[in-house]
Amino acid sequence: MTGQERLTYMANQIARNFATLDDAVAARAVADHLLKYWDPRMKAGILAHREGLLPVAAAAVAMLGEGVRTVEPRST
Does any domain span residue 70? no
CB 44 within 8 A of CB 34: no
Taking only the tens place, the pLDDT of each residue in 12-65 is: 999 999 999 999 999 999 999 999 999 999 999 999 999 999 999 999 999 999
Does any domain span residue 11? yes
Confidence of residue 68 (pLDDT cuts 50, 70, 90): confident
Does any domain span residue 48? yes
Q: What pTM, to 2 d.p., does this model score?
A: 0.87
Domain count, the chain: 1
User: What are the φ and ψ backbone dihedral angles of 43, each rounded to 5 degrees?
Assistant: -60, -45
Q: Name the residue range of residue 18's domain.
A: 3-65
